[in-house]
Amino acid sequence: MGVWCRQTVDGEPAEPYIIAPHSEAQTDAELLAVKAKGASDKGWAVAWTGERSFTATKERWGGLLCTREFWAD
């Protein structure tokens, strides 16, 4: 199990990668919540797509649409 992220910039997806928990005791749900709050605090539009997944979207680098998908498997 774990939390994954895949970034897509201007329609081009990168390879997904696993996000390490901040502590051994941190659950996937807790890590997702921390990542969602952190993205929101940094101006990303966060939308929960399921109980264990969300997307964060923001224009970056001169107007390129950047979408980050986060999910727990």
Mind listing the pLDDT tens digit of every residue in the chain (73 residues)?
A: 699 999 999 889 999 999 999 999 999 999 999 999 999 999 999 999 999 999 999 998 888 999 999 999 8
Query: Please, are residues 22 and 39 in contact by the beta-carbon 8 Å criterion?
Result: no
Report the pLDDT value the prediction gives residue 62, as an integer from 0 to 100.
86
Residue type, 65: L
Query: Please, are residues 47 and 23 in contact by the beta-carbon 8 Å criterion?
Result: no
Torsion angle, alpha carbons of 60, 66, 72, 73, to 10: -150
